[in-house]
């Protein structure tokens, strides 16, 4: 490809498509860029379709063309899209969509075109493309007539296959539409389409059944017919579910349902007899599975309809027969496995008959059908006890249907006998470990354990998790029925032969899952002491299976009902199961014990004192287990267990911290780019630092480099690790005693860099800045004030009011620190930077905006900034006044000069807004702070404040009255240091100590409001001619009611 602007025409497009299919990455990138550039040009999409339709071109070029066209339909077909495809082009493209792929020989190209037809139909049916269904069904009818007459018409077969594929994608698109208009469009055409498809399905079933009865079987022709009937079945499934509001009321659905109900068992039983070819056998199995999907989709989306469609109870009975039959086959396999375990003496052998590939596929197929049967029973239980809720109005007929359906299943399906039988089948057949389970256990224990830990989420695809889910549903909803049978199962443990390990494991599985029901009947504490303690000490081959199950069962029961007195026994059991020296404690047993140890610790009734005697040994064994594990997911799970223990131990973790910290650097290095594991390491370090508080300083040599690596923009890991690194950073700063190390202070510039991100992490970044200001105020002021104030100024006006409040509070602390560190000279330096950075300029601009907005009324009324933001801005201004009144005037003068105002003019509008906003200040401490600032302005003896004496008296009256205690004497915001006896014995973080000192040194919490007001009132009187002259000049202008209320305070 040559550079420059390439004009759009057929030849150049083919050249670019050829480049896009090249092996050269550079050519592909150039071609992709050119195709993207052409997207905006008229005629481009038609030329792409031309390239696809040109069957003389290589398949690779046509593939690129159709894929690009599909992406364009996604992006530009809607009228509202930017650079949307013009109406004339759409019409031209649409007119060729069906003819273009009806006889397309390349299946992968035909599928892509079918996808495009579906997307276009979803957007344009019925307004712009009203005949799409008519056109497709016409082709289907014509082709079906030609293929179903027994003649080998290859062209008709191809047209029928392609048209069914197109119809499938159109129905898929419309069925997934959420708008009621889309659904109603599909429902309006469903009856007619279903009749057409039903005819295709029946006729082609008959054709391939006839072909399969011939000798020899014409395999290729039979496969083609089976593909057609399977395609029709897939479309019918979606139409029955999405095309009807009430499928049970439609005659055609009832007919199709009856037909499918009969076909499924005929196909299911015929599967083992058909030996024509593996492909035909597979297609027959697909028919059975897809018919099952019809039943599952109906019960999931139309619960009442499923129950009311003909023959549903018989259907469920046949499915349960499959469940039972398959379960018996599994039990037989497991019986042979037990014999193998007992004969080899290792727990790994068996005497199984090796399955050939055909038998294995047949077993997997029957398992899939049995799984569908279990899912159907779960759907029935859900309909009875947890029906789908809807906000849509239900008519009387619909309510009656739901009532009848529920009664049908409750009274005739789930009888006490049936429920008990289902429970017994699940426990005795499906809770037994299979040979393949034990093979996985021995061959790859880590992967096997990880898979089983998460298997319950895959219940729709795996039969063991589905059996457990169904068992849970039965137990929860039929407690009264199953309580006694379950206790009978439990009581049978004593009669089970010692070497019948898998049966015992299955019963223990049921006891664990049924904890929520059995806890009222079963004394599990006695069971622990009398049975489980002995079970885990048996050294018989295969008892690693029982040990694993004991750990799981304890994890299931600990949050239900295990006495606090029994907890030490639980910890001893887990301690024993974690012991690597015992040969029966293989890796799976120890990993399971570790996982369930977390459940024992992370629960409501946990008592730290009972756990402490076992901590040292358990920590040691967990660390060894992490070193032994190889897979990232396993190590992450073990780190999570350790993290929970650290959380529970709190400050008591110090003796074990070194063990934890030693394993983390090698793990960090071994993980490479696996950011999830790195996140887990950062998380456990955060918990460790929080627990150890100031003692965590000894691990700064590890923590600080990890923080730097995780937040450094060039590290490549910032996007993955930033959130967890900020949590660790915050915990580290809060736990660091002053003075901080230089390494800790050198991290601060990264915070300033992260201020620009202004994303979800901004609040956390600001909180860490706040902690740094408390930790090292001198360093922040002397070294970073310029960058910090510039960063703050850039954020103002762009962030939420809550974040603005954090920023103003940080600056308040810096102002207080500057005065303490360097007095008035430090304040002057700080003030100049606050103004030059535009920070204070923006603060005053916010106040001015609020002032001007409050002056507007009527239609031209402007909304001021939020009251919370204005309060935070005034609180910052108040801190400046409290620091030094003269400095405040200098700062205001600088800002006024920037705005072309005099100091007096600026103070006039500022005080107007300040006094006017005072009533909107909610927190007592903020009200007191602003009251102090307004009072201290009397030190200036300026007319603009003396004229506001009435406003001042109103503020004084409100604040003093609010702050006085019940006796009317003391200021309730003045805090006193607690005595030594009152102080908590729990260690505090260094930051908590720093914040306490900041609070107790704050004038708001150390100076009585009445004393400060009285002092300044006396001072201003003496400096303005004495009490009499002051009264005549200024007090005389105060309203008598305001004056009399103020006089009641007794300050004058």
pLDDT tens-digit map of 618-639: 989 999 999 899 888 898 899 9
Looking up tokens 């935070």 gives 872
CA separation for the pair 559, 744 (Å, rounded) = 42
b (16+ CB within 10 A) / e for 562-590: beeebbebbbebbbbbbeeebebbbbbbb
Q: Which residues have a Cβ under 8 Å from the Cβ of 239 and sit 6 or more positions away?
A: 171, 175, 186, 190, 193, 194, 197
Residue 111: both structure tokens together: 């599928």
Q: Quick one: which of 586, 592, 698, 578 has its CA closest to 637?
A: 592
Q: Please, which residues have CB within 8 angstroms of residue 399's CB and are 6 or more apart in sequence?
A: none
Decide: helix, strand or coil at residue 128: coil
Give the span between the Cα atoms of 509 and 549, in whole angstroms: 7
Q: What is the pLDDT of residue 317?
A: 95
Whole-angstrom CA distances from 831 to 266, 804, 876, 1016 are 90, 19, 12, 25
Long-range CB pairs of 47-55 (<8 Å, 24+ gap) are 47/8, 47/9, 47/10, 47/13, 48/13, 48/72, 49/93, 49/96, 49/100, 50/10, 51/10, 51/13, 51/14, 51/17, 52/100, 52/109, 52/113, 53/96, 53/100, 55/105
Task: Read off the pLDDT of residues 394-444 as tens digits, 9 standing for 90 and up.
Answer: 788 888 999 999 999 999 999 999 999 999 999 999 999 988 899 999 999
Give the count of alpha carbons within 13 A of 711, CB side only: 28
User: Using an 8 Å Cβ cutoff, are 486 and 524 in contact?
Assistant: no
Residue 596 makes CB contacts below 8 A (sequence gap 6+) with 551, 552, 554, 555, 574
pTM above 0.85, yes or no: no
Q: Which of 500, 497, 575, 504 is nearest to 533 (CA)?
A: 575
**What is the pLDDT of the chain when averaged over all its residues?**
89
What pLDDT, on a 0 to 100 scale, did the predictor assign at position 978? 46
| C-beta separation of 426 from 470 below 8 A | yes
Which tens digits make up the pLDDT trace of 984-1000? 456 788 999 999 999 88
What pLDDT does residue 980 have?
42
- How many other CB atoms are there within 10 angstroms of residue 613's CB atom? 12
Q: pLDDT tens, 74-120?
A: 999 998 888 899 999 999 999 999 988 898 999 999 999 999 999 99
> How many helices (H) and strands (E) are present in the chain, helices listed first?
52, 0
User: For 824, phi and psi rounded to 5 degrees?
Assistant: -65, -35
Low-confidence ranges of the chain (pLDDT < 70): 1-4, 150-151, 274-276, 336-355, 390-393, 715, 757-758, 966-969, 975-986, 1052
């Amino acid at each position: 490809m040559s550079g420059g602007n390439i004009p759009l025409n057929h030849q150049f497009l083919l050249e670019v498509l050829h480049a896009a299919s090249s092996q050269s990455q550079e050519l592909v990138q150039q071609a992709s860029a050119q195709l993207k550039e052409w997207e905006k040009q008229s005629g481009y999409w038609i030329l792409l379709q031309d390239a696809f339709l040109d069957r003389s071109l290589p398949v690779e070029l046509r593939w690129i063309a159709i894929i690009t066209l599909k992406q364009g339909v996604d992006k530009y077909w809607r009228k509202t899209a930017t650079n949307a495809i013009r109406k004339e082009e759409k019409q031209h493209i649409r007119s060729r969509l069906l003819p273009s792929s009806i006889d397309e020989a390349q299946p992968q190209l035909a599928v892509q075109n079918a996808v495009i037809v579906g997307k276009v139909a979803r957007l344009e049916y019925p307004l712009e493309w009203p005949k799409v269904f008519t056109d497709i069904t016409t082709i289907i009818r014509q082709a079906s007539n030609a293929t179903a007459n027994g003649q080998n018409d290859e062209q008709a077969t191809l047209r029928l296959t392609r048209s069914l594929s197109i119809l499938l994608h159109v129905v898929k698109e419309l069925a997934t539409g959420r708008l009621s208009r889309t659904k109603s469009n599909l429902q309006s055409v469903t009856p007619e389409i279903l009749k057409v498809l039903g005819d295709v399905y029946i006729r082609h079933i008959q054709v391939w059944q006839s072909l399969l009865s011939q000798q020899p079987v014409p395999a290729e022709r039979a496969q083609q017919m089976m593909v057609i009937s399977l395609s029709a079945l897939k479309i019918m499934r979606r139409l029955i579910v999405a095309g009807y509001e009430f499928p049970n009321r439609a005659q055609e659905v009832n007919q199709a349902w009856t037909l499918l109900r009969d076909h499924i068992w005929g196909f299911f039983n015929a599967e083992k007899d058909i030996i024509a070819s593996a492909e035909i056998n597979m297609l027959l199995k697909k028919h059975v599975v897809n018919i099952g999907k019809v039943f599952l989709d109906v019960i999931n989306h139309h619960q009442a309809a499923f129950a009311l469609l003909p023959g549903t109870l018989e259907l469920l009975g046949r499915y349960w027969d499959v469940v039972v039959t398959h379960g018996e086959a599994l039990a037989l396999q497991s019986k042979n496995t037990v014999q193998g375990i007992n004969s080899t003496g290792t727990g790994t052998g068996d005497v199984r008959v090796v399955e050939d590939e055909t038998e294995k596929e047949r077993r997997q197929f029957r398992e899939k059908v049995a799984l569908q049967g279990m899912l159907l029973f779960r759907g029935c239980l859900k309909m009875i006890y947890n029906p789908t809720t809807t906000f849509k109005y239900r008519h009387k007929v619909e309510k009656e249907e739901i009532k009848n359906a529920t009664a049908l299943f409750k009274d005739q399906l789930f009888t006490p006998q049936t429920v008990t039988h289902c429970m017994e089948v699940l426990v005795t057949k499906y809770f037994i470990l299979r040979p393949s389970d034990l093979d996985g256990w021995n061959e790859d224990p880590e992967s096997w354990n990880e898979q089983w830990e998460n298997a319950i989420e895959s219940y729709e695809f795996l039969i063991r998790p589905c059996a457990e889910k169904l068992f849970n549903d039965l137990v929860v909803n039929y407690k009264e029925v199953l309580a006694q049978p379950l206790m009978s199962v439990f009581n049978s443990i004593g009669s089970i032969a010692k070497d019948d390990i898998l049966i015992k494991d299955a019963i223990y599985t049921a006891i664990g899952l049924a904890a929520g029901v059995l806890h009222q009947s079963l004394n599990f504490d006695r069971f622990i002491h009398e049975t489980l303690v002995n079970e885990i000490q048996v050294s018989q081959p295969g008892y690693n299976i029982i040990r694993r199950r004991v750990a799981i069962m304890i994890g299931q029961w600990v949050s239900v009902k295990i006495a606090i007195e029994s907890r030490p026994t639980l910890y001893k059991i887990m301690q024993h199961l974690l012991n690597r020296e015992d040969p029966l404690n293989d890796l799976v047993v120890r990993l399971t014990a570790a996982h369930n140890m977390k459940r024992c610790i992370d629960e409501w009734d946990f008592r730290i004192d009972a756990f402490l005697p076992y901590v040292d040994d358990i920590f040691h064994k967990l660390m060894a287990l992490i070193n032994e594990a190889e897979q990232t997911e396993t190590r992450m799970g073990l780190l999570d267990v350790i993290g929970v223990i650290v959380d529970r131990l709190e400050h008591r973790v110090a003796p074990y911290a070194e063990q934890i910290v030693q394993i983390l650097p090698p793990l960090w290095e071994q993980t490479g780019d696996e950011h999830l594991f790195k996140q887990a390491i950062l998380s456990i370090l955060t918990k460790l630092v929080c627990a150890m508080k100031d003692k965590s300083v000894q691990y700064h040599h590890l923590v600080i480099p990890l923080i730097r690596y995780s937040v450094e923009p060039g590290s490549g890991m910032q996007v993955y690790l930033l959130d967890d690194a900020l949590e660790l950073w915050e915990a580290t700063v809060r736990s660091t005693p002053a003075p901080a190390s230089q390494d800790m202070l050198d991290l601060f510039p990264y915070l300033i860099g992260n201020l620009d991100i202004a994303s979800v992490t901004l609040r956390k970044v600001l909180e860490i800045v706040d902690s740094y200001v408390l930790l090292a105020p001198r360093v922040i002021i002397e070294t970073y004030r310029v960058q910090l104030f510039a960063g703050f100024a850039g954020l103002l006006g762009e962030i939420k009011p809550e974040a603005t409040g954090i920023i103003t509070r940080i600056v308040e602390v810096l102002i207080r620190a500057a005065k303490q560190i360097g007095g008035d000279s430090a304040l002057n330096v700080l003030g100049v930077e606050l103004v030059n950075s535009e920070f204070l300029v923006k603060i005053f601009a916010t106040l001015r905006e609020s002032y001007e907005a409050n002056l507007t009324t009527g239609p031209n009324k402007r909304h001021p900034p939020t009251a919370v933001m204005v309060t935070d801005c005034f609180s910052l201004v108040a801190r400046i006044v409290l620091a030094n009144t003269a400095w405040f005037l200098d700062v205001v003068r600088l800002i006024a000069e920037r705005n072309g105002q005099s100091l007096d003019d600026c103070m006039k509008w500022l005080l107007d807004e300040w006094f006017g906003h005072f009533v909107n200040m909610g927190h007592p401490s903020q009200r007191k702070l602003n009251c102090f600032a307004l009072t201290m302005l009397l030190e200036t003896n300026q007319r603009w404040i003396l004229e506001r004496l009435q406003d001042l008296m109103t503020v004084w009256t409100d604040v003093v009255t609010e702050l006085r205690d019940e006796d009317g004497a003391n200021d309730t915001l003045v805090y006193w240091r607690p005595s030594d006896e009152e102080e908590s014995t729990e260690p505090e973080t260094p930051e908590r100590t720093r914040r306490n000192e900041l609070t107790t040194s704050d004038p708001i919490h150390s100076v009585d409001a009445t004393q400060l007001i009285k002092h300044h009132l006396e001072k201003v009187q003496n400096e303005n001619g004495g009490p009499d002259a002051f009264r005549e000049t200024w007090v005389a202008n105060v309203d008598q009611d305001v004056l009399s209320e103020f006089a009641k305070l007794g300050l004058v």
